[in-house]
Amino acid sequence: MNTNVNEISGGPAVGTKEMVWRIVAVLLAIFWMLVIFAYSAKTAEASTKQSLRLGRALGRLVISNWNELSAEEQEAFAERWDHPVRKAGHVTEFAILGFLLTNVFIARRTKRRPAAVLAIFSGIVYAASDELHQTFVPGRAGMITDVGIDTCGVVIGTAVFLGIAALIGKARKHG
């Protein structure tokens, strides 16, 4: 007897490919949540070093005479860009999460609008829990403004996923 779990629960039958897609979608979202958790578990000192490194890398990209600047000027540039780099990191991390969470709900055959709502809600809950987690990390603090920034990232990731899905749908329809 080859009975599908969804058939038992009254849902539509799910093929092997679709079941694998569902499992992979969930595992990718969980993996990314762990990545975010690991970044949030860094002490304030380690987090600052990382964002200053990114600020210096940005300087090398946008300032043609970067190597001619003094070490103090390079450090001042990195420090000036520290806050925007951190917030861009928040948006990027959570945009990826929003994309992956939307994929989880779409893989469950959830219609697009409810999938978007569920992904955004799940992302907000995770963002809030992430900020709470940071209150237990030395030198870090949980900030409600970061939950808002993270939410913007989740919304962006969800919109990107749905935009790509719409383009793929149109391409399949016309080709």
Q: Residue 154 in contact with residue 124, Cβ under 8 Å?
A: yes
Is 3 within a domain? no
Total number of domains in the chain: 1
Task: Give the structural domain span for 86.
Answer: 14-170
Q: What distances in angstroms separate CA 104 from CA 22, 131, 158, 165, one per listed residue? A: 7, 23, 11, 13
Q: What is the reported pLDDT for 11? A: 55
Q: The tokens of 148 are what? A: 């808002």
Q: What is the reported pLDDT for 141? A: 93
Matching residue, tokens 């058939």: 7
Measure the CA angle with vertex 38, ends 132 and 121; round to 5°.
50
Is 4 within a domain? no
> 34 — phi, psi (to 5°)?
-65, -35
Is 115 within a domain? yes
Is 67 within a domain? yes
Is 1 within a domain? no
Is 6 within a domain? no
SS3 101: helix
Is 31 within a domain? yes
Q: What is the pTM of this model?
A: 0.86
Is 133 within a domain? yes
Would the pLDDT of 2 be above 70?
no
Measure the CA angle with vertex 70, ends 64 and 73; round to 5°.
80
Q: Per residue in 108-141, pLDDT tens?
A: 888 999 999 999 999 999 999 999 999 999 999 9
